[in-house]
Structure formats: C-alpha cells, structure tokens
Structure 1
Amino acid sequence: MEVVCKLYGPPREAVGEKRVRYDVETGATVEDVLETAIETHPALEESLYADDGTLRESIGVLTNRTNISQREGLATPVEEGDELLITPPIHGG
C-alpha cells in the first residue's frame, strides 16, 4: 500500500524532496514507514533518530494531522493513502 510523507526542515534536506511516496505492506506502522524511508534515503536516519535509537524530540511525526504521541507512537498503524508529516516542532507567536 502507498503512504505519502511530507518532509520539512532537516528531514527534507536529507531526502532532497518535500513529498515522497513509500510502498509498505498492509498492516504497516509509522515505524515501518520510517524504516522504509531510511532504506531509501539513509541520510534521513540521523535527522530522525537520536544515538540511543529513539525518535528525536526535535522531530514531530503526524499521521493525517494527528501527532503520533497522541495515538500509539511509532506503533500507530497506517492505511492506504495516509499522509505522514515529518517536521521540526512548529512554534507560533
């Protein structure tokens, strides 16, 4: 199934594109999508994960406009056509 990732900040710089489509298996999670993205764009790993293997606090991941921290974290399931937004936190003022 196809999932779209929209990238901003360092993740976008690592990939070189703002919008990328990844093909993942049915039943995939956000973590599976990120692993697929890193396999395709290895430079992305450094901008997403800290040295201890956890998602960097400076990166937000949203599925269909909902932060994964409000769902099941990296175990959040994704479905065909879902959109992941990968971005540094956005601060308003």
Structure 2
Amino acid sequence: MAPPTELFPSTQLPLRAQTSLTGTKRKGFNGDLKACEFLEMLQYSCEVSGGGGKTERSREQRVRCWPVERFFRRCHDQKGLFMVETTAWEGKEKRFKGP
C-alpha cells in the first residue's frame, strides 16, 4: 500500500514543486512550471459490467473504458531532471475533449 499523501490545492503546486522529496528547497529551480517541458499521457479507466456478478467471464459481460488524460511538467534543478504532475493545475483548457 502506498504511503499517505498530503492533499493541497492545485494553486499551491508551483510553491510545492520548489521542495524536493527530502523536504529541502530545490536549488536552481524558481517554481516556474510554465517554463518546464509539457508532457501528456492518455490512460484509460475501465470497468466490467453485466454477467450477473459472475466471477468468470461470460459473453454478457462488457468492458467499458473512458480516457483519462494526465499532464506533467519535466523540470530541472541543479541536481538534474524531475517530474511534476500538473493535471489539476493545468486547468480545463488542456483537458481531453472526447466525442
């Protein structure tokens, strides 16, 4: 199981990105996430439905999937590259626009 993660508002992300995993301030990074390289990844969230709750797969079961787009910024400090997930921070203008 993953360790507990502290929740904070996405507006605090530029400030939080200035702190390394060890809790020290990153040297050579001023918190400007917009200056970092933008990356995106498309994942899918799927669920199996139908079949009357059987544990074995049957022809009545259907798998439905929905796209989940995630955004990241690849930044660098004096120690090298680090990644920050910015999905909530990037805002709705970059969200996946499906059919």
| Short-chain TM bin | under 0.3
Which structure features the higher share of strand residues? 2
Normalization by structure 2: what TM-score? 0.24
Higher normalized helix content (fraction of residues) = 1
> Which of 1 and 2 has higher RCO (CA within 8 Å, sep 6+)?
1
